[in-house]
Amino acid sequence: MNIYLPRIRQCAEASELEPVIIIDTREQTPLPISRFSIRPGTLTTGDYSFAGGEEQFAIERKTIADLVGCCLGANRLRFERELHRLRGFTFARLLIIGSRDQIFAGKYRSQINPASVLGSLSTWEVRYGVPVVFAPTEVDAARLVEDWVWWFAREWVLSINKLTRQSGPAPSPGY
């Protein structure tokens, strides 16, 4: 089932807009984004954002295998720096392809205890204020990214429109 996301009205005088999703160039297996245009780009943080919102909106995507790898040694320190950077974003998410049940059952290639992985997730969510969201498949994850981008961009445009309506036209210098 394909859910239609309407275009975003910038203002009454402007044409309708659609966000363009930016996928970080280092993302090795991009999600199957289908409802919006995509463009590769170098993001300072995260794997997904949208054009114009790169400093406000970031989604870090991990498979369960990637996540487990981020729980150990130097990879953990690097990943925690990434999560620390996400704290500065208005909208940030850690999107995991898979389920808590897969982690709990130890369905990954590592000797790390499932409780340690789940404990790390909970700690990071609290410590860095970045919500953790699970999506069972890449298609479901792509749908979440598309929804989040659309709703965030819509609210952002509405906020800007509200600010510009409140300020009114610029006053004349009066000389």
Query: Between 3.40.50.720, 3.40.50.10130, 3.40.605.10, 3.30.360.10, what CATH number should domain 63-165 receive?
Result: 3.40.50.10130
pLDDT of residue 157: 81
DSSP conformation letters of 117-142: HHHHHHHHHHHH---EEEESSHHHHH
Q: Which residues contact 58 (CB under 8 A, 6 or more apart)?
A: 43, 45, 46, 48, 49, 86, 89, 91, 92, 93
In contact, 52 and 21? CB cutoff 8 Å: no
The conformation of residue 106, written as its DSSP 8-state character, comes to: T
Q: How many angstroms separate the CA atoms of 67 and 72, rounded?
A: 10
Q: What is the pTM of this model?
A: 0.84
Q: What is the pLDDT of residues 9-48, one digit of tens each?
A: 555 444 467 899 999 999 999 999 999 999 999 999 999 9
The per-residue pLDDT of the chain, averaged, comes to: 88
Among 12-26, 47-61, 109-123, which is the least confidently predicted range? 12-26
In contact, 20 and 51? CB cutoff 8 Å: yes
What confidence category does residue 127 fall into, taking pLDDT thresholds of 50, 70 and 90? very high
pLDDT of residue 150: 93
How is the chain split into domains, by residue range? 63-165
Of 29 and 7, the structure prediction assigns the larger pLDDT to 29
pLDDT of residue 24: 98
pLDDT of residue 162: 75
**Longest C-alpha distance within the chain, in Å?**
76
What confidence category does residue 1 fall into, taking pLDDT thresholds of 50, 70 and 90? very low
pLDDT of residue 170: 57
pLDDT of residue 79: 97
Percent of the chain clearing pLDDT 70 (strictly above)? 83
Percent of the chain clearing pLDDT 90 (strictly above)? 73
